[in-house]
């Protein structure tokens, strides 16, 4: 069966078909205030068009990486042996030499140390980075970082959708040279926009891409706040993985003016599947192949400092390699990319991508234009989880109220716990009885 490709005149069709991953690229090519980002009840962050200001120019859909790649991203894909792995110059592991950056970081602080060094050495004037702000209520946002204070503010992973590329509009035209730290979908969108804006491309210096398996809809964060015992309205800081309380990889940390609430990492891990948006299930680029430098956790690498934390660092372009060599703010050692890929379970992720996207197609949903190209690198294996997880992810959009979604999840957790408590022992006993009967009948 031939894959169905979407013919989107504007990005409403992208959102309606669950292909939007909230990168923010579309708003950047449209008139000011015509495309605005709104949160759904579940906590997706999707663009909405104000049709009174829309001139039907189709520019938004032409740069949308949710449905297609422009010439730069296509070139990146076609010049690598495997689009799930990407091009690699060198693989390294290490950490920031700056203790404050390291302690405040998600992993080894390398992403922030590189940006800070580039700012201090005037390689760039500013950097587009994600932050967590408590303006109105706690949520993800994006800023232009100009100094150390901004960089410190931006550190740590926010496992939620943030339309980072909306900040491209804030970069001063023809004046500021900029870098960007983003997820794979942000990097795809960045290339798509730069393909259409040569003057902005001249201002762009380099990108740091984060390895990314998925985000969670914002209801996931609200559930963790609820679980901590804090009231959302009182929350002044939220950290998915804070190293400060108990070291790497970091505990969930909910901060109010009066109190710090700490939850173990398992609380975050256990909710991931339920709150994963559908778009992440059909995203192939977990290793961020379009960035100049990819940074992640050093899973699968031996002799890593698991107390302070370290970062996996992959230079993918000559530009990325030059940036790394020009900074002495990080201490890095060479490692083997194959070990990193094994650590990131890339073979399993390949299998999952194909499994989920085939289920997606069975639901008559359109796929991005590069589907045929990417699928050549995978084979189909069936697994019940593809149907279950995808249906669950698509169902998230049907909630009308966040509280209803969180209550439904709480009920499911309760049922699961009861099953574990009462049904599991019964299953074991039944199995033992069958075994004993078999032995006796010999």
Ligand X SMILES: Cc1cc2nc3c(=O)[nH]c(=O)nc-3n(C[C@H](O)[C@H](O)[C@H](O)COP(=O)(O)OP(=O)(O)OC[C@H]3O[C@@H](n4cnc5c(N)ncnc54)[C@H](O)[C@@H]3O)c2cc1C
CB neighbours of residue 82 within 10 Å: 16
Instruction: Check binding of 231 to ligand SF4 (CB under 6 A).
Output: no
Q: Which of ligand X, ligand SF4, none has residue 280 at its interface (CB below 5 to 8 Å by kind)? A: ligand SF4
Instruction: Check binding of 366 to ligand SF4 (CB under 6 A).
Output: no
Distance CA 318, CA 311 (A): 20
CA dihedral 379, 13, 195, 371 (to 10 degrees): 10
The piece of 50-58, 160-168, 372-380, 404-412 that touches ligand X (CB under 6 A) is 160-168
Find the binding residues for ligand SF4 in span 31-70 (CB under 6 A).
31, 34-35, 47, 49, 54-60, 64-66
What is the largest distance, in Å, between two alpha-carbon atoms of the chain? 85
3-state SS class at 436: helix
Find the binding residues for ligand SF4 in span 408-427 (CB under 6 A).
none
Q: Looking at beta carbons only, is 349 or 361 nearer to ligand SF4?
A: 349
Instruction: Check binding of 124 to ligand X (CB under 6 A).
Output: no
| β-pair type (126-133, 139-145) | antiparallel
Instruction: Check binding of 212 to ligand SF4 (CB under 6 A).
Output: yes
**φ/ψ (deg, to 5) at 90:** -140, 150
**Best CA proximity match to 60, nearest among 29, 95, 93, 97:** 29
Q: Which residues, 6 or more positions from 254, have their beta carbon under 8 angstroms from its beta carbon?
A: 224, 225, 228, 230, 235, 237, 238, 239, 260, 261, 262, 263
Determine which residue in the list 6, 18, 22, 370 makes contact with ligand SF4, applying CB under 6 A.
22
What one-character-per-residue DSSP string does 166-184 give?
Answer: GGGGGSPTTT--EEEEE-H
Instruction: Check binding of 105 to ligand X (CB under 6 A).
Output: yes
Output helix, strand, coil percentages for the chain, rounded to the nearest 5. 45, 20, 40
Q: Where are the alpha helices (DSSP H) in 121-197?
A: 148-154, 184-196
**Best CA proximity match to 393, nearest among 21, 26, 27:** 21
Q: Are 119 and 145 within 8 A, CB to CB?
A: yes
Q: Which of ligand X, ligand SF4, none has residue 299 at its interface (CB below 5 to 8 Å by kind)? A: ligand X
Distance CA 138, CA 233 (A): 8
Find the binding residues for ligand X in span 319-348 (CB under 6 A).
344
Q: Looking at beta carbons only, is 57 or 430 nearer to ligand SF4?
A: 57
Instruction: Check binding of 25 to ligand SF4 (CB under 6 A).
Output: yes
Q: Are 20 and 67 within 8 A, CB to CB?
A: no
Q: How far is the CB of 275 from ligand SF4 (least distance, A)?
A: 12
Q: How far is the CB of 8 from ligand X (least distance, A)?
A: 24
Tokens 């022992």 belong to 425
Q: Which of ligand SF4, ligand X, none has residue 105 at its interface (CB below 5 to 8 Å by kind)? A: ligand X
In whole angstroms, how large is the CA radius of gyration of the chain? 22
Instruction: Check binding of 250 to ligand X (CB under 6 A).
Output: no
Q: Which of ligand SF4, ligand X, none has residue 211 at its interface (CB below 5 to 8 Å by kind)? A: ligand X
Determine which residue in the list 83, 108, 109, 189 makes contact with ligand SF4, applying CB under 6 A.
189
Instruction: Check binding of 5 to ligand SF4 (CB under 6 A).
Output: no
Q: How far is the CB of 5 from ligand X (least distance, A)?
A: 27
Question: How is residue 396 annotated by DSSP?
Answer: G
Instruction: Check binding of 126 to ligand X (CB under 6 A).
Output: no
Q: Where are the alpha helices (DSSP H) in 148-300?
A: 148-154, 184-196, 198-203, 218-228, 243-246, 265-275, 278-281
Q: Looking at beta carbons only, is 155 or 207 nearer to ligand X?
A: 155
Q: How far is CA 424 from the centre of its chain?
A: 35
Q: Looking at beta carbons only, is 269 or 418 nearer to ligand SF4?
A: 269
Q: Looking at beta carbons only, is 66 or 140 nearer to ligand SF4?
A: 66
Q: Looking at beta carbons only, is 256 or 344 nearer to ligand SF4?
A: 344
CB neighbours of residue 208 within 10 Å: 26
Q: Which of ligand SF4, ligand X, none has residue 311 at its interface (CB below 5 to 8 Å by kind)? A: ligand X
The piece of 59-67, 295-303, 371-379, 391-399 that touches ligand X (CB under 6 A) is 295-303
Q: Which residues of the shown chain bind ligand X in the complex (CB under 6 A)? A: 105-112, 129-130, 154-160, 162, 164, 181-183, 186, 210-213, 215, 295-297, 299, 311, 344
Q: Which residues of the shown chain bind ligand SF4 in the complex (CB under 6 A)? A: 10-11, 14, 20-26, 29-31, 34-35, 47, 49, 54-60, 64-66, 163, 183-185, 189, 212, 214-215, 279-280, 283
């Amino acid at each position: 069966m031939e894959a169905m490709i979407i013919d989107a005149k504007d990005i409403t069709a992208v959102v309606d078909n669950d292909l939007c991953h909230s990168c923010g690229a579309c708003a950047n090519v449209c008139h000011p205030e015509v495309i605005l980002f709104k949160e759904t009840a579940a906590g997706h962050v999707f663009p909405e068009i104000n049709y009174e200001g829309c001139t039907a120019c189709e520019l938004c859909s032409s740069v949308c990486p949710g449905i297609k790649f422009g010439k730069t991203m296509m070139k990146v894909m076609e010049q690598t042996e495997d689009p799930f792995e990407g091009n690699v110059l060198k693989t390294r592991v290490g950490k920031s030499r700056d203790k404050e950056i390291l302690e405040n970081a998600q992993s080894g602080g390398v992403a922030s140390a590189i940006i800070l060094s580039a700012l201090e050495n005037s390689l760039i004037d500013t950097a587009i980075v994600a932050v967590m702000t408590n303006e109105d209520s706690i949520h993800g946002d994006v800023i232009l970082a100009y100094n150390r204070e901004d960089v410190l503010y931006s550190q740590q992973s926010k496992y939620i959708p943030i339309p980072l590329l909306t900040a491209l509009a804030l970069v001063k035209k023809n004046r500021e040279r900029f870098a960007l730290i983003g997820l794979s979908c942000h990097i795809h969108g960045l290339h798509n926009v730069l393909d259409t804006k040569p003057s902005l491309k001249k201002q762009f210096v380099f990108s740091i891409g984060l390895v990314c398996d998925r985000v969670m809809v914002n209801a996931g964060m609200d559930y963790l706040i609820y679980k901590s015992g804090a009231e959302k309205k009182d929350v002044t800081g939220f950290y998915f993985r804070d190293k400060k309380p108990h070291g790497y990889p970091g505990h969930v940390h909910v901060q109010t003016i009066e109190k710090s609430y700490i939850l173990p990492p398992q609380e975050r891990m256990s909710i991931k599947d339920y709150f994963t948006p559908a778009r992440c299930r059909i995203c192939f680029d977990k290793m961020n192949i379009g960035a100049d430098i990819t940074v992640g956790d050093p899973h699968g690498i031996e002799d890593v400092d698991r107390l302070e934390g370290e970062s996996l660092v992959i230079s993918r372009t000559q530009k990325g390699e030059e940036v790394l060599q020009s900074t002495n703010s990080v201490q890095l050692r060479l490692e083997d990319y194959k070990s990193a890929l094994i650590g990131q379970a890339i073979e399993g992720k390949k299998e999952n991508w194909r499994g989920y996207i085939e289920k997606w197609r069975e639901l008559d949903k359109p796929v991005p234009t590069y589907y045929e190209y990417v699928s050549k690198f995978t084979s189909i294996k069936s697994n019940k989880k593809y149907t279950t997880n995808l249906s669950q992810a698509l169902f998230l959009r049907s909630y009308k109220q966040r509280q209803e979604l969180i209550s439904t999840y709480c009920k499911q957790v309760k049922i699961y716990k009861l099953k574990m408590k009462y049904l599991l022992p019964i299953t074991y006993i039944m199995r033992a009885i069958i075994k004993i009967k078999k032995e006796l009948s010999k």
